[in-house]
Structure 1
C-alpha cells in the first residue's frame, strides 16, 4: 500500500470516528439537543424529534460497516472501491454542510460538524490526487450509457412540470433548484426501470401516478393537508383527502412530470437504457434525497404546524407501492387503429383536452378555488375531468399510428397546459411574458420537429416500443 493510499485510509477512519463521536454525543446529551430543536421549531412534535435523535446511531452503524468494507476493498486495489470513496466523500461533505448551515444542532455540536467537514474536505483532496488515481486506472465498461440524454431528462422534468405551467413565478425561479433532484431523479429512475422491464407508455403513466403519491402525499403532504395551497377548499374532502387536488395532481404528474419529458427525450435519443446499474441506483438515491429536501423545505414554510397522520402516510405509501407493482407487471398490447387522423388534429385534440381537464378542477388567475367549486356540485366537474382523461387516453392510443403522431400528441398537450398556465398562474407581467415565450417556443419547436420527421409511416414500429 502506497503512502497516498494510506493517507486515504487514515482519513476514512478519521471520518468514521468523528461520525461515531457525533452520534454518541446526540445520545448522551439527548435532552439538551432536543430542547434546542424544540426552541427553534416549537410547532414540531417533540416525540418525533426525540425519535429522530434516538435513531441516529442506526445509520451511523450502517455507514461504519460500509466504511470498513470499502476500506478493505480499497487496500485490496479494487477500482470500484476507489469510485465509491470518491462518491461517498462528496455526498458526505454535502450532507454535513447542509446540517451545519441549517443549524439543526447546538453550537457545540456544530463545532463537531466543522471537524467532520474538514476531514471530508481533506479526504476529497487526498482521494483525487494523481498518485491515487494512477493506482486505480479506469477499466473501460463495455455497457452502453448516454449521460447526455440522462442529463437532458433530469432538466426537462422540472421545467415541463413546474416552469412551463407557471407554478413558479419568475421572481422565484431559483426555487426550481430544489425540485430538480426529485423531478429529475424520479423521472430518470422511472424511465430506466420501465425500459429495462420492457414497459411502455401505460407503465410510464402508472409509475407517474406512484410518483405523484410520493411527492404530493409523502413529501409535500398536500393530499391531506387542510391548509396547503388552499386545496381543501377545491371540493369536499373525503376521509381527510383533498379529493379534487388529488385527482388533478395524480393525472398531472403521470402525464407532465414523468411521461411527456421521457418521451420527448426519447424522440431524440431513443428508448435504450441511458444508465448502467450504478447510475440507476444513484438516480434512485437522488430522488429519495430530493423528496426529503422538499419535505424539510416546503411544508415548514408553506404549511407550518401540519404533520400528516401516520395512518394516512401508511395508506399512501402502500398505495404507491401497489401502483409500482402494477406498473411493473401490467402489459398493454397494441391498440386497434380505427382512424389515422392528420397530425394537426392529434395535436389540437390533446391541447384542448389538456386545457379542459385543468380548467374543470384547477383555480383560475390567482383564485384560491376552482371556477366550478360550489360545495358538492364540484364533484360534477371532477367526474367530467375523469371521463375526459379516460376518453382522451383511449382515443389518442387509436390515433397514434406513427412516431410523428405521438410527438404531435405530446406537443399539443404541452401547448394546452401552458395556455392554461397563462390564464391560471400568470399573476404578473413578467410571468405572462415568460409563459407566452414558453408557449411560442413549444409550438415552434414542435412544428419544427414534426416537419423534420416528415411522413415516417415506415417507422411505425417505433411507436409500439413506446406503448
Structure 2
C-alpha cells in the first residue's frame, strides 16, 4: 500500500507520462498537417534522396506514436494501481524515448520550429527519468520475492560472453567493420543461453553442451549462412575437396569451433563467475522460450544480411536443408536424452601447464585447417593431401577432449583448472587470429591487447579463486 508521499510522487510520474504523450501526439499531428513543408525541408537536406521514400518515411513515423499512446494509458493506470511490472516498463520506456528523441533532435531531420517541440519533449523525458528513479518512487514498488530459480545477471553475462568469445576475440571481422558484430550478436547470445538452459534443465554436462554446440553450429553455418555447402562464400570450397556438396574442411573447423567457443567456454566461464548458482536454470520457462525464438530470429537476420551480399545468387539445395535440419534434430535428441558414462579419472596437470596445452591445441587445430594467412601451401589444396591436416586437427581435438574428461573426473580438478583451460583456449584462438587474419596495424594491435588481457584476466581469476 502506498503512503501519501509515494502516491504524490507516482502521480508526478504519471503527469510526465501524459505530458510526453501529448507532446508526441502534437509532433505527429504537426508533421502530418505541414507535411509539405517538412518534405521540402528534408529534400533540401538530401537532394539525392528518393522523394517517394521520404514521403513514406514521413507517413509511417506517427503510427508508432499512436501505438505508444495506448500503451502509455495502460501503463499509467497500472502504475497508479501499484504494479511493479508497470514501474519497470516506465523506466525502460523513459530511457528508450529519451535516446530516440535525442537522436531525432541531433539529426536535425525536421525544420527548426518542429525541433522546438522535440526539445520540449526531450526535456520532459529527462524529467521523467529523474522522477521515476527517485528513492520515494522506487520504495512504492518494492521487489516481490520469487521462489522460482532465476539469475538474470548470470544470463546477461553469458549473453555478452558468447559473441565476445566466438567473434570479437578471433579477428575474422576487422576493426573497420566492427559494426558487423551487432549482426552476429543476437544468434550467439540467445543461442548460448538457450543451449545452456535446455542442457542443464535435463541434467546434461559438458559432453551434452558440446553436442548442442555442434547443433548450434549447423544452424548458424548451415541454415543461416549456408557456408557449409556454398561453393563461393568465404572461399570455403577451396580449403579441401567437397564431399556430397559439403565444404569438408570448413565444416570440420566451424562445427568444432562453435561447440567450444560459442557454447562451452562462455558457459564454463559464466558458471565459474556464479558458482553459488551452480547448474540451476538462469531463466524461467518463458525466458527459455524467448531465447529460442530470438535464436531463430538471429539466424534469420544472418540469412538476410550476409549471403545476399557476400554470396549473391546461391540458395542451399532443399536436400541439404533437410539434411542439416535432420542433423540438428538428431544431435539435440542425443544431447537431451543420452546419458554419458563417467570417464576414468586421471591426475590433471598443473593449471599453468593445462592452460598452455589448451592454447597450443586451439592454435594447432585452427592452423591445421583454416587457410593460414589467407592461403595454404599447394600440397594441401588438391586431392587427398588435404585430408592430412584435417585428420591431424581431428586427432588433436579428440585427444584433448578425452584428456579433459579424464582430468576433470579426478578429485584434484578444481575451478583453477577450469579457468586455466578456458583462458588457454581463448588465448590460443586469439593468437591464431593475430597470425592468420590481422592484416593492418590496428587489427594486430587490437588482437595483441586482447591476448594479453585474456591471460591477465585468467591469472587474476585463478588467484582470486585460490585465495
| Same fold (TM > 0.5) | yes
Distance 1:369 1:289 in 2: 39
Contact 2:228–2:250 (CA under 8 A) maintained in structure 1:
yes
Per-residue deviation at 1:120? Answer: 2.9
1:10-36 Cα distance to aligned partner (Å, 9 max, x none)? xxxxxxxxxxxxxxxxxxxxxxxxxxx
Distance 2:318 2:289 in 1: 28
Q: 1:117-128 counterparts in 2 under 5 A? A: 117-128=64-75
Match of 1:227 in 2: 232
How much is the aligned-residue C-alpha RMSD, in angstroms? 2.4
The 1:136–1:246 alpha-carbon spacing in structure 2 relative to 1, beyond 3 Å, is farther
Q: Give the TM-score, by structure 1 length.
A: 0.71
Distance 1:212 1:356 in 2: 20
Distance 2:377 2:57 in 1: 44
Match of 1:240 in 2: 245
Of 261-270 and 360-369, deviating more is: 360-369
Q: 1:299-314 counterparts in 2 under 5 A? A: 299-314=307-322
Match of 2:457 in 1: 445
Per-residue deviation at 1:243? Answer: 0.5
Match of 1:83 in 2: none
Match of 1:133 in 2: 79
Contact 1:335–1:398 (CA under 8 A) maintained in structure 2:
yes
Structure with higher Rg: it is 2
Distance 1:292 1:189 in 2: 16
Distance 1:370 1:403 in 2: 44
1:349 to 357, 367, 377: 357
Q: Give the TM-score, by structure 2 length.
A: 0.71
Contact 1:346–1:396 (CA under 8 A) maintained in structure 2:
no
SS in structure 2 opposite 1:378? helix
Report runs of 4+ in structure 1 exceeding 4 Å deviation.
Answer: 105-116, 368-371
The 1:180–1:370 alpha-carbon spacing in structure 2 relative to 1, beyond 3 Å, is farther
Contact 1:164–1:418 (CA under 8 A) maintained in structure 2:
yes
1:334 to 342, 366, 374: 342
Distance 1:123 1:430 in 2: 49
Of 331-340 and 441-450, deviating more is: 331-340
The 1:108–1:330 alpha-carbon spacing in structure 2 relative to 1, beyond 3 Å, is farther
Match of 2:266 in 1: 261
1:212 to 217, 229, 233: 217
2:374 to 366, 380, 401: 366
Match of 1:249 in 2: 254
Unpaired runs of 5+ residues, structure 2, are: 1-13, 15-49, 85-143
Match of 1:390 in 2: 398
Q: 1:355-434 counterparts in 2 under 5 A? A: 355-367=363-375, 372-400=380-408, 401-434=413-446
Match of 2:332 in 1: 324
Contact 2:149–2:280 (CA under 8 A) maintained in structure 1:
no
Unpaired runs of 5+ residues, structure 1, are: 5-102, 456-467
SS in structure 2 opposite 1:336? coil
